[in-house]
Amino acid sequence: MNATSVRIVTLKIDDRELSAREDRTILEVARENQLDIPTLCHLDGLSSSGACRLCLVEITGIRRLLPACVTTVGEGMEVYTNTPRIQHYRKLILELLFSERNHVCSVCVSNGQCELQELARKLGVDHVHYPYLMPELPVDASNPRFVVDHNRCILCGRCTRACDEIEGAHTWDMRGRGIETRVITDFSDPWGASSTCTGCGKCVHVCPTGALSEKGRSVAEMVKHKHFMPYLTLMRKEQS
């Protein structure tokens, strides 16, 4: 896109007057201005899918709540990122997520390092008032270096996008649909048997929870590094 063709718009986020290029998302503009919007499926450097709905914001004049991670800014837009209405829904969405699978932090390798746990703390989710669905899902430890524990997976799709968009292997995808959706490697083969996995470990580091982890970590030991993602994306772009 030609740089000169991009307009600059002015907008308000949480009553602050801001200006930004019109092709930026509300999330990008908010974060550049130190306004925090919670996110889970979004990760800088990867494409956004608008799946988790935690970044929903209110925009004056639009009845529907829109996800900040994929909604671009517009001239004269008035955005509210933290109204009681939004806080209420964000909490309920997180509660739903906790009720879906098994997220017992005390036995998790990511305890203390988990984005889901951190969000729950920030948003004040201290109990879940929906019944736990708790399916018993497998743990696949067939890969010599990594483990996938489906019980902790929140289907954010970061691993699939990192593997496809950054590593270019597209080892990960999702199978099934609805509540039966699972992340898979290759032909739903055991990870260790994957013929396409390069073993780069990006998926593990972008995973927000303890679903993907390095082997041999015990409770609370799995520290993840995701800040390389935007850097890699940038380097890819420069090269092509």
Partner 1 sequence: MSAKTDVMEASEQKADPRWRSVEKTMRQHGYHANGLIETLHAVQEAYGCLDEEALRRIAAELRVALSHVYGVATFYNYFTMAPPGRHTCVVCMGTACYIKGAGEIMERISKEFNVAPEETSDDGNLSLLSARCIGCCGQAPALVVDGEIWGGLSADEVIERLRRVLNDA
Partner 2 sequence: MTPEELHDLCTQEQEAAEQYPHHLYVCSSDPKSILAKDLRQEIKKRDKEKTICVHEVGFMGLGAEEPIVRVEPQQVYYQRVGAEDIDALFDSLDSGKSIERLACETLPELLKHQRLVVLDKNDRINPNRIEDYIACGGYQALMRALTEQSPAQVLEEITQSGLRGRGGAGFPTGLKWNLVAKAQGEKKYVVCNADEGDPGAFMDRMILECNPHRVLEGMLLAGYAVGASQGYIYIRAEYPLAIKRLRLAIKQAQRLGLLGHRIGEVGFDFNIELRLGAGAFVCGEETALLGSIAGRRGTPRPRPPYPAERGLWNAPTLINNVETFANIAPIMKHGSAWFANIGTEKSKGTKVFALAGRVTYTGLVEVPMGVPLRDIIFKLGGGIPNHCEFKAVQTGGPSGGCIPAEHLDISVDYDSLAQVGSIMGSGGMIIMDETSCMVDVAKFFMAFCCEESCGKCIPCRVGTSQMYHILQRITNGQGTLYDLELLEELCDVMQNTSLCGLGQTAPNPLLSTLRFFRHEYLAHILDKQCPAKVCKIHKVMEAVS
Please say whether the dihedral angle defined by the alpha carbons of residues 105, 210, 234 and 6, taken in this order, is positive or negative. Answer: negative
CA gap 180, 91 in Å, rounded: 23
Q: Which does 113 bind (CB under 5 to 8 A by kind): partner 2, ligand FES, partner 1, none?
A: none
Encode 21-38 in three state secondary structure.
Answer: ECCCEHHHHHHHCCCCCC
User: Does residue 143 bind partner 1 (CB under 8 A)?
Assistant: no
Q: What residues make contact with ligand FES under the rule CB under 6 A?
A: 39-42, 50-55, 67, 69
Residue in 11, 18, 52, 125 binding partner 2, rule: CB under 8 A: 52
Cβ proximity to partner 2: between 153 and 229 the closer is 153
> What is the per-residue binding string for partner 1 in 180-219, x denoting contact by CB under 8 A?
----xxxxx------xx-----------------------
Q: Which does 71 bind (CB under 5 to 8 A by kind): partner 1, ligand FES, partner 2, none?
A: partner 2
Residue in 177, 216, 238, 239 binding partner 1, rule: CB under 8 A: 177
Neighbours of 32 (CB within 10 A): 11
CB of 118 to ligand FES, least distance (A): 14
User: Does residue 41 bind partner 1 (CB under 8 A)?
Assistant: no
Q: What is the DSSP string of 30-98?
A: HHHTT-----SS--TTS-----S-TTEEEETTEEEEEETTTPBP-TT-EEESS-HHHHHHHHHHHHHHH
Q: Are strands 146-149 and 212-214 parallel, antiparallel or unpaired?
A: antiparallel
Torsion of CA 40, 46, 48, 53, to 10 degrees: 0
User: Does residue 30 bind partner 2 (CB under 8 A)?
Assistant: no
Residues 79-138 that bind partner 2 (CB under 8 A): 89, 92-93, 96-97, 99-100, 129-131, 133
Interface residues toward partner 1, by CB under 8 A: 164, 169-177, 184-188, 195-196
